[in-house]
């Protein structure tokens, strides 16, 4: 079993794909679990029969606790059901009944970020990970919190909808589509943001922090208290952990006139501004490996990754954020990078990313330019050395070296760094070279 994330303390059951009494084959999916950032099927480690469900769909359980029981023969089902502990769906389950032996390694613990409450078996136990609401084998309607809010506000019958999410989970898009409305969730906005007068660099992604609530305030109403969801809790823990890191920030103003012009040339070929900026950052970082480094987990060494993996912050529709990773961005051509990004965002939206697709970033890019933001600071993600906050591009009066005055598109960027690994001179040199690339030869990004 892979090592579990130290920040993951509990998981939530999305749906049981089997009901008590059903035959379970080795390697067959038994339930859907929600880690902090993805919904995944969990497979049985052995064949037998699902005897009892201890934690129902929608319930949560601490890492390592029992959530169900699997037996080898059909004759054992009644006896195990009589001894199986019961727990309400909203609370953590009690420990496994005495009749069940110790657990063995899970069949489908797919990643470090997945919680690992177990499905114990009698006579042999089968550990699995736990998860959050998605589809249900029992026939109940399963929808994201935002989808439920929208359905209530728009008068949509969730029972009449076919969900587009994992295992039929109803997403906000499904509700909006039922009313003939466009998706208003600011997932990833390419092109000029609504408040960017210049039509400049536009947006990379709704970044570092939750995106503003769409019309209708689907995240909560005045007077309500809304519990953090699994993803938000994971983000919260990471942000609190970041407070222990000694960080500093360096800002830079970059003229984007040439980048904007080049973007217009390649946009029709599927190249996004996200891909351009990620590529520019990666190419520059190849000449500044210190900015790609991080402090070791025990704080005793500087770790230099073997590749440059640019993570880009994306706001989730139900709150929180995820950082899909463009692996080896410096060595990937711009067209492939753009295709990779489109695929990552699509699968992030349906919570289908694999852990290595959101947890292996060595540097993070966060952008709020689509909202007309002119500058902001980003919080450093744990385990990395730097994150770049990119604001919107806008027309600015600029004084040239010869004293003449002109108007040029400019954007502000701020680099947040771990001072244990990166010093001021390192950050300044990186930003200077990044600006030079964007200002003088952005077309080289397509070579």
The pLDDT-based confidence of 34 (bands split at 50, 70, 90) is: confident
Whole-angstrom distance, CA of residue 18 vs CA of residue 324: 31
Please report how many Cα atoms fall inside a 13 Å half-sphere around the Cα of residue 221, on the Cβ side.
Answer: 6
Burial state string for 280-319 with b = 16 or more CB within 10 A and e = fewer than 16: bbbbbbeebebbbbbbeeeeeeeeebeebbbbbbbbbbbb
The pLDDT-based confidence of 337 (bands split at 50, 70, 90) is: very high
CATH for 10-127, options being 3.40.50.300, 3.10.180.10, 3.30.70.100, 2.40.50.100:
2.40.50.100
| Cis previous bond, 316, omega within 30 | no
Whole-angstrom distance, CA of residue 394 vs CA of residue 409: 5
Is residue 126 within 8 Å of residue 120, measured between CB atoms? yes
Q: Tell me, what's the pLDDT at 376?
A: 94
Residues 58-63 have a mean pLDDT of 77
Q: If we measure between CA atoms, which residue out of 287, 291, 274, 366 comes closest to residue 326?
A: 274
Q: Please give the C-alpha separations between residue 86 and each of 60, 82, 96, 159, 329, in angstroms, as whole numbers.
A: 13, 10, 10, 29, 49
Query: Is 242's pLDDT higher than 80?
Result: yes
CATH of domain 145-178: 4.10.320
Q: Tell me, what's the pLDDT at 111?
A: 34
Question: What does the domain layout of the chain look like in residue ranges?
Answer: 10-127, 145-178, 230-446
Query: Is 92's pLDDT higher than 60?
Result: no
Residue 376 is encoded by which pair of tokens? Answer: 């902001």
Query: Is 135's pLDDT higher than 90?
Result: no
- Single out the catalytic residue among 237, 267, 375, 419: 419
Q: Tell me, what's the pLDDT at 5?
A: 36
Please report how many Cα atoms fall inside a 13 Å half-sphere around the Cα of residue 144, on the Cβ side.
Answer: 30
Report the CATH fold assignment for 230-446.
Chloramphenicol Acetyltransferase (3.30.559)
- Whether 288 is catalytic: no
Query: Is 81's pLDDT higher than 50?
Result: yes
Is residue 67 within 8 Å of residue 93, measured between CB atoms? yes
Q: Tokens 């570092």 — which residue?
A: 208
Residues 146-167 have a mean pLDDT of 78
Query: Is 99's pLDDT higher than 50?
Result: no
pLDDT in tens, 396-422: 999 888 889 999 999 999 999 999 999
């Amino acid at each position: 079993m892979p090592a579990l994330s130290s920040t993951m303390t509990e998981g939530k059951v999305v749906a049981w794909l089997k009901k008590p009494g059903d035959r379970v084959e080795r390697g067959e999916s038994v339930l859907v679990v929600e880690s902090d950032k993805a919904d995944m099927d969990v497979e049985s480690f052995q064949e037998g029969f699902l005897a009892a469900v201890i934690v129902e769909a929608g319930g949560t359980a601490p890492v390592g606790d029992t959530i169900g029981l699997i037996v080898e023969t059909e004759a054992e089902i009644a006896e195990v059901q009589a001894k199986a502990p019961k727990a309400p769906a909203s609370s953590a389950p009690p420990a496994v009944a005495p009749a069940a032996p110790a657990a063995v390694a899970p069949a489908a613990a797919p990643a470090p970020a997945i919680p690992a409450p177990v499905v114990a078996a009698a006579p042999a136990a089968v550990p699995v990970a736990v998860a959050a609401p998605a589809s249900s084998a029992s026939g109940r309607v399963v929808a994201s919190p935002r989808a439920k809010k929208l359905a209530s506000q728009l008068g949509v019958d969730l029972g009449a909808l076919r969900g587009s999410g994992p295992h039929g989970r109803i997403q906000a898009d499904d509700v909006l589509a039922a009313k003939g409305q466009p998706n208003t969730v600011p997932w990833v906005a390419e092109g000029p943001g609504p408040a960017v007068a210049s039509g400049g660099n536009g947006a990379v992604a709704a970044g570092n922090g939750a995106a503003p609530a769409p019309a209708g305030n689907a995240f909560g109403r005045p007077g309500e208290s809304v519990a953090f969801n699994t993803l938000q809790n994971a983000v919260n823990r990471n942000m609190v952990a970041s407070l222990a890191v000694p960080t500093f920030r360096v800002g830079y103003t970059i003229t984007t006139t040439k980048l904007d012009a080049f973007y217009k040339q390649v946009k029709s070929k599927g190249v996004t501004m996200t891909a351009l900026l990620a590529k520019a950052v990666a190419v520059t970082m190849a000449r500044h490996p210190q900015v790609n480094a991080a402090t070791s987990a025990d704080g005793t060494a500087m770790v230099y990754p073997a590749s440059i993996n640019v993570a880009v912050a994306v706001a989730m529709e139900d709150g929180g954020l995820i950082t899909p990773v463009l692996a080896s961005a410096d060595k990937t051509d711009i067209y492939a990078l753009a295709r990779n990004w489109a695929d990552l965002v699509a699968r992030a939206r349906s919570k289908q990313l694999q852990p290595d697709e959101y947890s292996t970033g060595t540097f993070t890019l966060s952008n709020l330019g689509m909202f007309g933001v002119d500058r902001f600071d980003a919080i450093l993600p744990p385990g990395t050395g730097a994150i770049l906050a990119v604001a919107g591009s806008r027309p600015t009066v600029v004084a040239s070296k010869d004293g003449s005055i002109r108007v040029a598109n400019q954007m502000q960027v701020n680099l947040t760094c771990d001072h244990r690994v990166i010093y001021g001179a390192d950050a300044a040199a990186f930003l200077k070279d990044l600006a030079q690339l964007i200002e003088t030869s952005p077309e080289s990004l397509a070579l």
